[in-house]
Amino acid sequence: MYTCICARVRECEVRAAIAEGAHDDESVGEVTGAGTGCGSCVDRICGLIREVAPAAGLRGLAAAS
């Protein structure tokens, strides 16, 4: 399933990027290209970050505040 239609990035690619250390939507975008087009997938990317790397997702949210 695609997470980002604009960049044709599949969910498995986003999960792999997160597992390899991409812990916010910007770093996922740098690695995969996801979320760098229209931005409609950023919420889904952030959800995957919270699911795959919960502690990292919380740090990313704290940094954004």
Q: Tokens 């792999």 belong to which residue?
A: 16
The CATH architecture that domain 2-64 belongs to is Orthogonal Bundle (1.10)
Q: Which helix (H) or strand (E) holds 51?
A: helix 42-52
Per-residue pLDDT, 65: 43
pTM, entire model: 0.80
pLDDT (tens digit per residue) in 4-31? 999 999 999 999 999 999 989 999 999 9
Per-residue pLDDT, 15: 95
d(CA 60, CA 65): 9
Q: Which helix (H) or strand (E) holds 3?
A: strand 2-4
Nearest-CA neighbor of 32 among 54, 50, 52, 6? 6
pLDDT (tens digit per residue) in 28-49? 999 999 999 999 999 999 999 9
Q: Where are the domains of the chain?
A: 2-64
In contact, 14 and 41? CB cutoff 8 Å: no
